[in-house]
Amino acid sequence: MRFFIALEIPKENLPAFQSIQHSLHTLIPQARLTDLDKIHLTLAFIGEQPEELKGDLIKVITDAAQGIPAFQVTPAYLDGFPEIHHPQILWVGVKGDIDKIHLIRERIKDGLETLHLPVDERRFVPHISLAKLNRLFKISHSLEVSFERIMSAPFTPVQITSIKLFESTPENGLHTHNTLAEIKLI
């Protein structure tokens, strides 16, 4: 199974992300938008592992959630990976209770290490991927200004109430995401 751990974006917040995507697609028609039903904030990508690992991963998530209450984050800015001027992925960064996201992420990393699973050691930036671009695409200064305008609208905070274990299943060249477990925050 191909596993990942993420914070799912509640359905009531999806129209705001759809609006951002619409604005991005108007500015960059060649952008491939992320399906709304796949929008989430990834905490750890585990990749292909035996199905028997599912129970251990649920325990890692349960331990990571201990003592952490539900919290809120708010879309704050647009950025890109590997960097904004030549992005392959455009994403929304969040503000708010990101200290809780970092704490959960560190606990998950620790748990994955105890299972001898590879852990991404790059600097973690809480983000929600919205679109993919050709790697040759270049963001101009005028596009950056447009990004600032898109993100100047007031956004409803995103209520984070649980952490989910997902399975990513290949289907017709794309991937579907199935929730395998949901661990509620206190």
Architecture of the domain defined by 2-184: Alpha-Beta Complex (3.90)
Question: According to the model, what pLDDT value does residue 175 have?
Answer: 84
Range 14-18 average pLDDT: 97
Q: d(Cα 114, Cα 43) in Å, to the nearest integer? A: 17
Number of H helices, E strands in the chain: 4, 9
Backbone angles phi, psi at 21, to 5 degrees: -60, -40
Q: How does pLDDT run across 152-168, given as a tens digit for each residue? A: 999 999 999 999 999 99
Name the residue among 120, 30, 41 with its Cα closest to residue 73. Answer: 41
* pTM of the complete model beyond 0.85: yes
**Dihedral Cα 19, 20, 26, 29, nearest 10 deg:** -120
Q: d(Cα 58, Cα 118) in Å, to the nearest integer? A: 17
Amino acid at 4: F
Q: Where are the domains positioned within the chain?
A: 2-184
Q: How does pLDDT run across 27-86, given as a tens digit for each residue? A: 999 999 999 999 999 999 999 999 999 999 999 999 999 999 999 999 999 999 999 999
Name the residue among 124, 146, 130, 133 with its Cα closest to residue 92. Answer: 130
**Sorting pLDDT into bands at 50, 70 and 90, what band is 134?**
confident
Q: How many CB atoms lie within 10 A of CB 40?
A: 18
- Spatial strand order of the sheet with 89-96 comes to 32-33, 127-132, 89-96, 71-81, 158-160
